[in-house]
Amino acid sequence: MEQYLELAKEIAKEAEVIALKYFGFDTESTWKGDNTPLTVADTTINDMVIKKINEKYPDHSVQGEEKSDKKDKSKYIWVCDPVDGTMPFSNGLPIFTFSLALVDQSTGQPVLGVVNDPILKNMYWAYKGSGAYRNGKKIAVSKSTSLFNTYLNTDASGKEVGYSNLPLLSQLSAKKCKVMKLLSFIYGGIQVANGKFAGAVFYNRYAHDVASLKIITEEAGGKVTDLNGEDRRYDQEGLGCIVSNGLVHDEILECVKAGKV
């Protein structure tokens, strides 16, 4: 795992250089078929990840948001979001991250994860049994036992997962929990492992938005499930994601279930 981590960090630093090269108020973007923006940084970083993985571990697969390179019978698949937060990134707003997770395809569970914030120079990482770290300093989830006076990150609800986030927002407001929508789920979600947020709720099916959060959050002492409170795979689409410090997970889950349609 140390060798895998060394490679993941190296890739994350190269992704940082590429992202900063293209970042600014003049960043150009196009629109994808799913009504989300795409920049040169997204595709360039995605291509770089595939190239680096193939050079070092040619038998490993890669699943990227923009492009994948999957091999038959590979034990591991690297799940990558080259620019999580392309919407703010493409508008010159400094709210975006790079995310890379190594997933064991026999279980569908991540065994290693790296998240890098190019603007604040914060790199988070963890692998199974290692604990979680930010720039080499061990981190842990918060000790909040209720949602009162806490922060939670979420995104828009989607019909494809059969949930509305409106009941969640209403109930969290009543509980005096402050909700943020940062348009980069990983940017906000990693703050659970960092001890700043009590939780985060993802209303979509994509694995690349949550795979790294799963391993880093759990190594920091937290809990991650799908929107039904069950385990999910992180090498394929699933039923969203709830990320928490573990102590308020059930409370968040009840708020989420109120929005099932």
- Return the HEC string of the chain: CHHHHHHHHHHHHHHHHHHHHHCCCCCCCEECCCCCEECHHHHHHHHHHHHHHHHHCCCCEEEECCCEECCCCCCEEEEEEEEECHHHHHCCCCCCEEEEEEEECCCCEEEEEEEEECCCCEEEEEECCCCEEECCEEECCCCCCCCCCCEEEECCCCHHHCECCHHHHHHHHHCCCEEECCCCHHHHHHHHHCCCCCEEEECCCCCCCCHHHHHHHHHCCCEEECCCCCCCCCCCCCCCEEEECCCCHHHHHHHHHCCEC
- The residues, any chain, with a CB within 8 Å of residue 163's CB and separated by 6 or more, are 157, 203, 227, 240, 256, 259, 260, 261
Are residues 10 and 60 both part of a single domain?
yes
The answer to the question of residue 164 being in a domain is yes
Residue 160 has pLDDT above 90, yes or no: no
Q: What percent of the chain has pLDDT over 90?
A: 95
| pLDDT score of 34 | 85
Are residues 171 and 83 both part of a single domain?
no
Residue 198: which CATH number?
Answer: 3.40.190.80
Residue 159 has pLDDT above 80, yes or no: no
Are residues 63 and 176 both part of a single domain?
no
Point out the least confidently predicted range of 161-170, 185-194, 213-222, 241-250.
161-170
180-188 mean pLDDT: 96
| pLDDT score of 157 | 72
CA 96/CA 189 separation, integer angstroms: 12
Residue 230 Cα distances to 88, 91, 117, 224, angstroms: 31, 36, 29, 9
27-54 mean pLDDT: 95
Rg, C-alpha atoms of the chain: 17
pLDDT digits (tens, 9 = 90+) for 109-130: 999 999 999 999 999 999 999 9
| pLDDT score of 66 | 97
Are residues 14 and 103 both part of a single domain?
yes
Last residue of a domain, one of 101, 117, 139: 139
Q: What pTM did the predictor assign?
A: 0.96
- Reading the block at residue 85, the tokens are 């937060």
| pLDDT score of 45 | 98
Domain that holds residue 218: 151-257
What is the CB neighbour count within 10 angstroms for residue 75? 12
Residue 155 has pLDDT above 90, yes or no: no
Are residues 253 and 158 both part of a single domain?
yes
Are residues 156 and 245 both part of a single domain?
yes
Are residues 55 and 165 both part of a single domain?
no
57-75 mean pLDDT: 96
CA-CA-CA-CA torsion sign (5, 11, 15, 16):
positive
| pLDDT score of 261 | 86
- Cβ contact 122:8 at 8 Å: no
Last residue of a domain, one of 139, 168, 193: 139
Residue 68 has pLDDT above 80, yes or no: yes
12-41 mean pLDDT: 95
| pLDDT score of 136 | 97
160-173 mean pLDDT: 92
- Reading the block at residue 74, the tokens are 């590979």
Point out the least confidently predicted range of 3-12, 44-53, 152-161.
152-161
CA 38/CA 132 separation, integer angstroms: 31
Q: Fill in the amino acid letter for 62.
A: V
pLDDT digits (tens, 9 = 90+) for 245-260: 999 999 999 999 999 9
Split into its structural domains, the chain has a count of: 2
Are residues 71 and 167 both part of a single domain?
no
Are residues 33 and 58 both part of a single domain?
yes
Instruction: Name the residue with tokens 């998240």.
Output: 115
The answer to the question of residue 109 being in a domain is yes
| pLDDT score of 172 | 96
Torsion-angle region of 135 (φ positive above 0: left; ψ -120 to 50: alpha; else: beta): left
Provide the mean pLDDT of the chain: 96
The answer to the question of residue 23 being in a domain is yes
Residue 62: which CATH number?
Answer: 3.30.540.10
Residue 191 has pLDDT above 90, yes or no: yes
Are residues 162 and 33 both part of a single domain?
no
Are residues 120 and 169 both part of a single domain?
no
